[in-house]
Amino acid sequence: MKKTGARRLELVLLAVGMSLLALYLASRLYSVVASRAALREFAAISGQTPMDGVDLPAGREHVDFSLWSEKRRAAYEESLAVHFDGPIAVLRIPQLSLEVPVFDGTDELVLNRGVGRIIGTGRPGQAGNVGIAGHRDGFFRCLKDIQVGAQIELATPSRNISYAVDEMTIVEQDDVSVLRPRTRPALTLVTCYPFYFVGNAPKRYIVHAHITESNFPSGNKETIREVKTTNQQEVTK
């Protein structure tokens, strides 16, 4: 009788374990599908395909959650129940196998779903310094591995803009000087630091990148060329 009872208990526990595993896998799949859906929505209006021109390592064609905290994964899944306007751009960093939708604004729901343009900074596809923020325990945790010279692509519905990383720095959380316009069109990525700090991280990790090429309309190209020429003259002084 004892053996029969123990066997039944084992079967019950096995069934419960399999059910929990199935729920977990379904949740992960739903998260990936929802993230890709935002990228497909952007692709539909821009005529692009997700990860177009980006060579990813095998098995990394979807969002990689391996660096995420459990808290951030849960927050991401909760954000899926909220309606969002479509992304205004897609940020790609091939070196880090990152592709993430960029939404307008930086409220908590936005940063749980993707990354957000910092209001008051340049808009993707326009001249200026485009500031984009993301969570250190979510999409932007991989920035800990970024290197000077890394290529960044910011794709909007009408054009692609390429940047190259020229500096990483750590600043106080209230230092907004890093978002000021630079001598040429630029991109600034912002996340909290240290990356694995327990609690509210006290500092900000900043990635500065300068424009390298784009398919801006001809009028904007002239503006960019003038800014670059001015910058070169300043450097030679």
Q: Where are the domains of the chain?
A: 2-236
With cut-offs at 50, 70 and 90, classify the pLDDT of residue 236. very low
One of 62, 142, 192, 210 is an active-site residue; which one?
A: 192
Lowest average pLDDT, out of 126-130, 142-146, 206-210, 231-235, goes to 231-235
Looking at domain 2-236, its CATH architecture is Beta Barrel (2.40)
Q: What's the rounded Cα separation, in Å, for the pair 90 and 1?
A: 62
User: The pTM is what?
Assistant: 0.68
Instruction: Identify whether 135 is a catalytic site residue.
Output: yes
pLDDT given at position 76: 85
Torsion 143-133-170-65 (CA) sign: negative
**Torsion angle defined by CA atoms of residues 26, 31, 36 and 42, in that order, rounded to the nearest 10 degrees:** 140
The per-residue pLDDT for range 37-46, each reduced to its tens digit, is 555 554 444 4
Percent over 90 (pLDDT), the chain: 48
pLDDT at 149 over 80: yes
d(CA 109, CA 116): 10
142 is catalytic: no
Least trusted range by pLDDT, from 86-100, 182-196, 219-233: 219-233
> Considering 135, 142, 208, 210, which one is annotated as catalytic?
135
Q: What is the pLDDT of residues 83-108, one digit of tens each?
A: 878 899 999 999 999 999 999 999 99
Per-residue pLDDT at 54 exceeds 60: no
pLDDT, average across residues 181-194: 95
Q: What is the mean pLDDT of the chain?
A: 77
Share of the chain above pLDDT 70, in %: 65
